[in-house]
Structure 1
Amino acid sequence: MKKAKAMPVIIGGMVFDIHATATIPATAKSTTPGKIKFMLGGVARNIAECLLKLGTKSFMISALGCDLAGEALLEQWRSAGLPTEGIQRGPDITTASVCNMFDINGDLTAGVASVDTIVTFASPNEHELVAMANSLSHENRFSPIQRDQDKNASIESLFKELKSAIVVLLQKGIKYILVTLGPDGAFLCSGSGPSGLRECLNDTKYSDGKSELFDMVSSRCSTHQYFCSTPCKGGSQLFVMHFPALPAIVRGVSGAGDCLVGGILSSLCSGLDVMQSVAVGVAAAKAAIEAETNVPSTYDLTAVADDAGKVYNAARVVFQESML
């Protein structure tokens, strides 16, 4: 039997890049002569193009809008003979675009990124967070928490050690970061203040219909009291909530992180808001820790909902301040 040729699958961004380079020193609040280049970019798309030029076709999973930038990116894909079935398009999608401005020496002076379509959530543990921040900042100034030195550190002190790395990711365009802390729970972080999380309350764009999970969790987790208070000022504001871990009989931890993400995604798809979904994720991770396998053979939805209610009602704000 003839073997089918393998095709790598690449999931990520397809980005329309605009590079504007001045040919004379720029004058503030004025148009400057220069050169403008349009490029097809995005890390995932660039990797796929590299593969193609080395002789390997790939299957791309991404999202493009029905706009000029999306047409340019898709046309290049089609002309290369690559499959487009994995590229979602729609009138409610804006193609990710980045405009960078450079001075006469080629140094970046400013930039605007419209990447809401592809950068939304990240759920690193503290070590992954540090690695991501070091990579994005092109420095090695971030390091993980030294837990052995202070095993009884407060939640506030844990956040203080991770704050600068979290800010790097948020400033690079990620909307929400869930930093998992093992037995210390998790930090849910937004770079647009509490309004950033409030936008996700009752947001059903991920929903495929209400479910048993929705009914059971929403009855135990009403809208969080913090979001019933007066609106807070907008702007670039770091807002962080802590979700505690649940006591558990530990039988294995290898599947806990995966089940945390699975619980969050399942909850978002059922119509629950982001805070309720994080609470379900923590509850799902607890069940994984207590199971003999990476993923429990079955989930008791009543127990998950009860545990989610405990986590949700114990969540609290640990930081709120401008990122500037």
Structure 2
Amino acid sequence: MVLDIHATPSIPPNPRTTAPGKVQYAAGGVARNIAECVSKLGTKPYMISALGLDMPGNLLLEYWKSAGLSLEGIRMSHEIETPVVCIVFDTEGEPSAAVASVESLERFLTPEWVVQFKRSIASAPIMMVDANLSLPALKMSCQLATEVGTPVWFEPVSVAKSKRIASVAKYVTFASPNEDELISMANSLSNKQKLPTITKNNNTTISSLFQQLKPAIWVLLETGIKVVILTLGSKGVLLCSKGRFNFKHIGPKRNDRSHEIGRRLYDTISQLCPSERFFSALRLEERSSMSPYVVHFPAVECASVVRLTGAGDCLVGGAVASICAGLDVMQSVAVGIAAAKGAVEVETNVPNGYNLDQIAADARSAYLGAKVVFCESTL
């Protein structure tokens, strides 16, 4: 849970001087953004984090309290300095520079704090961890989840922190890197020659991009990660798996934590995005246990782009909420893309609310536009 300070200039900024523009506070932190998105799509998240009893901490708790979400897993103390990140954007809404003060997360969000909530982890349909955690806390979280049979979703946060996957890859079911984080994760997991960064432009095709990224994707899958959900910005998402991963039954048939919005999400998406579109052709029983499978989901066109910082988090949040509601992984990724579209159209990291009809229409567009990029079958 992090307080973001967003600085957006109204003209291109110059070094060593100020520029006119707008400065705003925004509730942030990758895991917190994802949890807020999950809550707005119908599932009550249980958050394990650390906050100070200070101004930033009070701002971050406002939404949590108003939404009726549990504070039990949030460690609060006067000793803790609430994490803050200051982001300077360019005039197009892309981050151009940032300073992070997040040391308290590693100091106070300890393995000893996490282990107290084993029962909550055991009862969860899925556990999402972000790489802001210290290595000991990250490893403890993933070990606990694996021990109690709860799937783990790893969100790499940044290129530098994505390397922390090396200590927990064997526990991870889902990972959701962007292209740069994918290369970093693959290099941290491989003893072979380091993979280069990719080259692309607006004319790069999905097929060409996949061929460049395939060696890194294969490293993650070979290491034991079951599903790589690779975010490609305006080019959409690549969903990559290896072997007989059961896309249809990762989550519960129905989640007791879902409230009315979650139940409506399940019913609506189940009708608009029929599972048979993929699973009748996939024929899992005929696929080799070692066979990779890759599907490309297109992005959904936005009415306007205001800010891009929350898009990746809302994509994960939409997918996690959908899995918790009982939807399959393919359907859930489509909902994630729809949730991400909503995020880039607002100034906050997470929209104030989601319109279920719009989410459903956008998810259907992404789902019906999805195509298999790579599949090997045994005959």
Letter of the structure 2 residue corresponding to residue 235 of structure 1: S
Distance in 2 of aligned mates of 1:241 and 1:122: 15
Question: In structure 1, how many angstroms separate the alpha carbons of the residues matched to 2:286 and 2:142?
Answer: 39
Compared CA separation, residues 156 and 224, structure 1 to 2 (3 A):
farther
Aligned residue for 1:221? Answer: 273
Judge conservation of contact 1:221–1:276 (CA < 8 Å) in 2: yes
Q: How does 1:54-133 map to 2 (within 5 A)?
A: 58-61=112-115, 93=149, 118-133=171-186
Q: Distance in 2 between matches of 1:143 and 1:263?
A: 31
1:245 matched to 2:299: yes
Structure 2 CA distance for aligned equivalents of residues 137 and 302 of structure 1 = 44
1:131–1:223 Cα change, 3 Å: same
Q: 1:275 to 1:4 in 2, by over 3 A?
A: same
Question: How is 1:178-197 mapped onto 2 (pairs within 5 angstroms)?
Answer: 178-192=229-243, 195-196=244-245
One-letter amino acid matched to 1:214: Y
Task: Name the SS of the counterpart of 1:219 in structure 2.
Answer: helix
Which structure is richer in relative contact order (CA contacts within 8 A, separation 6 or more)? 2
- Residue of structure 1 in register with 2:310 after alignment: 255
**3-state secondary structure, aligned to 2:296:** strand
Superposed CA deviations along residues 124-179 of structure 1, whole A, max 9, x for unmatched, are 0000000000111145521232124xx21211111000000001011111000000
Q: Return the offset for 1:224.
A: 3.8
What's the counterpart of residue 366 of structure 2? 311
Instruction: Please give the secondary structure, in 1, of the residue aligned with 2:272.
Output: coil
Separation of aligned partners in 1, 2:180 and 2:141: 35
Q: Say if 2:252 and 2:325, in contact at 8 Å, map to a contact too.
A: no
The reply on whether 1:159 has 2:214 as its aligned counterpart is no
The equivalent of 1:301 in structure 2 is 356
- Aligned-residue identity in percent: 42
d(CA) in 2 for partners of 1:92, 1:125: 29
Which structure is higher in helix share?
Answer: 2
Please tell me whether the aligned partners of residues 63 and 93 of structure 1 are also in contact (alpha carbons under 8 angstroms): no
Q: 1:257 to 1:91 in 2, by over 3 A?
A: closer
Alignment-derived partner of residue 156 in structure 2: none
What TM-score, normalized by structure 1, do the two folds share? 0.63
State how far apart, in whole Å, the 2-side matches of 1:250 and 1:85 are: 36
Shift of residue 314, structure 1, vs aligned partner: 1.1
The residue number in structure 1 matching 2:197 is 144
Query: What is the rounded CA distance, in whole Å, between the counterparts of 1:86 and 1:182 in structure 2?
Result: 28
Partner of 2:287: 233
Number of residue-to-residue matches in the alignment: 235
Question: Equivalents in 1 of 2:141, 2:196: separation in Å?
Answer: 41
* d(CA) in 2 for partners of 1:255, 1:183: 14
Letter of the structure 1 residue corresponding to residue 231 of structure 2: T
What is the TM-score of this pair, normalised by structure 2?
A: 0.54
- CA RMSD across the alignment: 3.7
Residues 212, 173 of structure 1: CA spacing in aligned structure 2 closer, same or farther, 3 A cutoff?
A: same
The one of 313, 320, 325 aligned to 1:270: 325
Kept after mapping to 2: 8 A contact 1:126/1:180: yes
Deviation at 1:58, TM superposition (A): 3.8
Give the superposition deviation at 1:119.
1.4
2-side partners of 1:185 and 1:115: how far apart?
24
Are residues 126 and 6 of structure 1, via their aligned partners in 2, closer, same or farther at CA, if it must alter by over 3 Å?
Answer: same
Name the amino acid aligned to 2:363: A
Structure 1 letter corresponding to 2:279: F
Instruction: Judge conservation of contact 1:283–1:308 (CA < 8 Å) in 2.
Output: yes
CA drift of 1:276 comes to: 0.4
Q: Distance in 1 between matches of 2:188 and 2:169?
A: 19
**One-letter code aligned to 1:293:** T
Name the larger-Rg structure. 1
